[in-house]
Amino acid sequence: MKKISILGSTGSIGTQALDICARHPEEYRVTALTAKSSREKLFDQVRRFRPEMAGLLDGIRPEEIPEDLRFCRWLSGKEALRAAAAETEADQVLVSIVGIAGLQSVLDALEAGRQVLLANKEALVTGGHLVMDLARRKGKPILPVDSEHSAIFQCLQGAGPNRLRRILLTASGGPFRTWSREEIHRATREQALRHPNWSMGAKITIDSASMFNKGLEIMEARWLFDTPADQIQVLVHPESIIHSAVVFEDGAVIAQLGVPDMRVPIGYAMSYPRRESTGVEAPDLTKLGKLTFEAPDEEKFPSLRLAREALAAGGAACTVLNGANEEAVAAFLRGEISFGEIYTRVERALEKLGGLPARDFGDIFEADRRAREVGKGT
Ligand code: NAD
Ligand code: MG
């Protein structure tokens, strides 16, 4: 039996991970659950999965804990995240919170010798070198949950000593794939939130529409698979059936296929190296008939160019891109700025702060803080 702690259990990834736990009660015991503010949902989960520990980032007072849920240890604020990552008896820690808070949680979990199942992108985007270095030292490789990275990881099983020559990182192209540049710049919140294939949290759905998500994924892949950015090719594949592929020296391409359902990559990270049922059926290829591919349009989606520039700049440039984007997306979701302004603010942040260093944790947080100011437009 594996013991698993889930950070961000009320979110899109967290709830799907719990679906898998519920499907295999003999395989998984849940040791900790945390959320930011969704109390009622967290209460239901604690009632059902009975963890040792639960916590709310926004805090909870003892008298607010329902009588029947006082069997478990309740914590508030950052202390809750820290304990869920490092203190319970978990073998595995699923980091499925959003934002740069994920970096500290990943480092805490690794430091405590836990296996990290990583959905949170920001940890690798902002502190990839720190995370990969600590994971190596602790002998606990990161297991990717992001569907593309899970696909690449799956394609590499059985690769033996063969190095991959190139990664084909697939992208659906999002809801604006066929729109003009001007239409994209004027897009509304509702239009941007309508992803053609995947159902996900709001922040990542907007990032899929802007293609900043793919930019962040190039950074993730760079660290997870120790592959230079120029060997990571973005391939637009609107059907989202091929979740990514790797190219070997001999010209062979190995791809992973599946319907777009996050339970497959989440389940694979949880049960690795085994596979177990997830409730997801394999795609019916005869019904699909054909799969299509195209090159990304970097004129229409400057996010890809900005991501490559940030990677090339090194230091804290990727942190700057991420922080400015996160704030610009929040401003867009509040209806304060146009969709096009997201690109403008990120570009401005990189021009202004792209040269900041990332020697340690302190540097990263400082770069993040300053980038957020630009992202907020202040
Ligand atoms: P979500 O918004 O649906 O859920 C986020 C969860 O984290 C919630 O439980 C929330 O309470 C908690 N949370 C939010 N902010 C927090 C903070 N500052 N500190 C601690 N907890 C916080 O998000 P999601 O879509 O599940 O995505 C989670 C992470 O996984 C993101 O980094 C995202 O990029 C990545 N990811 C998601 C998907 C997907 O399909 N949803 C796919 C690939 C990668
Ligand atoms: Mg992805």
Ligand 1 site, CB within 6 A: 8-14, 35-36, 38, 57, 81, 96-99, 101, 119-122, 146, 198, 200-201, 204, 262
Q: What is the DSSP letter of 294?
A: B
What residue type is assigned to position 215 of the chain? G
CA distances from 128 to 5, 30, 121, 232, 336 (A): 22, 27, 10, 16, 32
- Name the residue with the closest Cα to ligand 1, atom 29: 120
Q: Which ligand has the minimum distance to the alpha carbon of residue 77?
A: 1
For ligand 1, atom 43, the nearest C-alpha belongs to 146
Let me know if 81 is exposed, middle or buried by CB neighbors in 10 A (0-12, 13-18, 19+): buried
Residue closest by Cα to atom 41 of ligand 1:
200
How far is ligand 2, taken at its centre, from the CA of residue 338, in Å? 24
Three-state SS sequence of 106-150: HHHHHHCCCEEEECCCHHHHHHHHHHHHHHHHHCCCCEECCHHHH
Give 51 Cα–ligand 2 centroid separation in angstroms.
Answer: 29
Handedness of CA 209, 214, 219, 220 (dihedral sign): positive
pLDDT of residue 195: 83
Annotate 234-245 with DSSP letters as a single string.
Answer: EEE-TT--EEEE
Q: Mean pLDDT by 10-residue block, N- to C-terminus, for the chain (378 residues)?
A: 98 97 98 98 98 98 97 98 97 95 97 98 97 98 98 96 96 96 96 87 93 98 98 98 98 97 98 97 97 96 98 98 97 98 98 96 96 96
Say which ligand is closest to the CA of 84: 1
Q: Terminal CA-to-CA distance of the chain, rounded, Å?
A: 50
197 three-class SS? coil
In this prediction, residue 116 carries a pLDDT of: 98
Tokens 């930011």, residue? Answer: 36
Give every strand in the sheet of 143-144, ordered side by side.
73-76, 53-56, 28-35, 2-7, 92-95, 115-118, 143-144
How many Å apart are CA 220 and CA 302, to the nearest integer? 18
Model pLDDT, residue 378? 85
Model pLDDT, residue 11: 96
User: Can you tell me which atom of ligand 1 is nearest the CA of 201?
Assistant: 25
Centroid of ligand 1 to alpha carbon of 257 (angstroms): 24
Q: How far is the CA of 68 from the centre of ligand 2 (A)?
A: 38
In single-letter form, the type of residue at position 173 comes to G
Q: Cα separation of 293 and 269, whole Å?
A: 27
Give the nearest ligand 1 atom to 121 CA: 32
If one residue of 7, 10, 12 were mutated to test the ligand 1 pocket, choosing by the most ligand atoms within 8 A of its CB, it would be: 12
266 phi, psi to nearest 5 deg: -65, -45
Beta carbons of 266 and 9 less than 8 angstroms apart: no
Predicted local confidence at residue 200, as pLDDT: 81
